[in-house]
């Protein structure tokens, strides 16, 4: 399972595959790693919960919530909706594959995390997409060992497949 650990040698590959600088990925990883210590042995839903608590504490929003739903009206668009009281992830009704839903949720959580940590970059849409994918890769790499034990049909077999999931995923 060491193959799925996020190590220094993987960061340049992740940066290159997702189209961003190594410095951006390294900086983002240090913030992600600090946040992620709280959720290492939990389900992805716990990442959502941990991010709720992170926003509540960091931004003094005691009732902030994060949740996701399938959209009955949107067959193709995934969206993260941000309000003062919470963040809602809308999954297209056409997406039913659990693996794809998991990746979409991780990507959308990445938007929220990146906006919190780098608010000065909020208007750079391309960069936000890339860093949301970086968050997704980091999250899924960290989840892989957990899923191997708890949900054997969920993990990827090689770490690079996780990166490819986020380079080939049509996130809006």
Residue 3 neighbours by CB distance under 10 Å: 14
List C-alpha distances in Å: 138 to 46, 51, 132. 15, 14, 10
pLDDT per residue rounded down to tens, the chain (172 residues): 457 688 899 999 999 999 999 999 999 999 888 877 666 545 555 777 888 888 888 888 888 888 777 776 666 666 666 666 777 777 887 877 777 888 888 888 898 899 889 999 989 999 999 999 999 888 877 666 555 555 555 556 667 777 877 776 655 5
Contact 74, 90 (CB under 8 A): yes
CA dihedral sign of residues 83, 68, 1, 132: negative
């Amino acid at each position: 399972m060491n193959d799925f650990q996020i190590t220094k040698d993987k960061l340049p590959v992740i940066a290159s595959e997702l189209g961003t600088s190594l410095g951006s990925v390294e900086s983002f990883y240090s913030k992600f790693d600090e946040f992620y210590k709280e959720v290492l042995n939990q389900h992805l839903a716990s990442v959502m919960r941990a991010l709720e608590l992170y926003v509540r504490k960091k931004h003094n929003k005691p009732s902030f919530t994060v949740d996701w739903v399938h959209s009955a009206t949107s067959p193709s668009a995934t969206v993260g909706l941000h309000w003062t009281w919470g963040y809602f992830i809308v999954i297209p009704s056409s997406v039913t594959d659990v693996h794809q839903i998991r990746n979409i949720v991780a990507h959308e959580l990445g938007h929220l995390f990146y906006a919190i940590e780098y608010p000065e970059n909020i208007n750079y849409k391309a960069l936000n997409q890339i860093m949301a994918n970086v968050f997704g890769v980091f999250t899924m790499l960290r989840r892989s060992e957990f899923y191997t034990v708890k949900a054997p049909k969920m993990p990827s077999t090689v770490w690079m497949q996780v990166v490819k999931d986020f380079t080939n995923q049509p996130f809006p």
